[in-house]
Amino acid sequence: MLKIIIGSFVLSASLFAVDLQSDGVEVNYKNSKDELKNIVIKREKKDECKNVNFDPKTVYGGEHQAADSVDANCKRAFVTYMGKIAPMKFSPKVETYGEVEVLEFIEKAKTDKNMMLVDSRTENWFFHETIPSAINIPYVYMKQSQYPDEFKEYLEILGVKITGDKYDFKNAKEILLFCNGAWCGQSPESMKALIAIGYPEEKLKWYRGGMQSWLSLGLTTVKP
């Protein structure tokens, strides 16, 4: 009986993920004028990309770039950055997410105010482009000694109460953090700082692939 239940759960979860990829997740975000906007996060499947040949010469053309014959709308280009590549697991208690899990998290967060998608990058990165519905909490402001006022402000946003030098994590939110990619240290720095003050590790989730993986799969972004 247990095996049947588990199998059924896995099947329903996978079907839910497929629906999210095809139908999208509708969310709200604020633009630079503080206006509330609505957008659907989904994998973009442009008509001109549907007939691109899936073979080595097309996908990995000269210098690992897509072949010249591929429509410009079907290409993604990224700098090969020399940051330190992070391991797959930040810690035993922090769960690592992929894109499907991020979509599921965003969908659930629409009705669960104790869940929050957090862009850990500094403001210049965030305002250039981010994942819809993400809240910007720059990792630098998690450094209490350097930014005490911002540190307190953002901890309150995360549901943490501060009394003197003590922290109350009873209402701490479940947060999913991300930054630029597997080589980006900004979200790991945020998690390191939060764990150092006692933030429950089981309430931290990490989208390791970050913006680079998100963009490579053609998923929706916004410019706040």
pLDDT tens-digit readout, 150-173: 999 999 999 999 988 899 999 999
Residue with more model confidence, 62 or 73:
73
- Sequence-distant (6+) residues with CB within 8 A of 185 are 83, 84, 86, 179
**DSSP characters over the chain:** -HHHHHHHHHHHHHHHHHHHHHH-EEEEEE-TT--EEEEEE-B---GGGTT---SHHHHT-GGGPPPTTS-GGG--------SPPPPS-SBTTBEEE-HHHHHHHHHHHTT-TTEEEEE-S-HHHHHH-B-TT-EE--GGGG-TTT-HHHHHHHHHHTT-EEETTEEE-TTPPEEEEE-S-TT--HHHHHHHHHHHTT--GGGEEEETTHHHHHHHTTB--B--
- pLDDT, average across residues 190-218: 96
* pLDDT for residue 8 is more than 70: no
Strands 135-136 and 204-207 come out as unpaired
Strands 161-163 and 95-97 come out as unpaired
Residue with more model confidence, 88 or 144:
88
Stated length of the chain: 224
Whole-model pTM: value is 0.83
* pLDDT for residue 188 is more than 90: yes
Token couple for 48: 């001109």
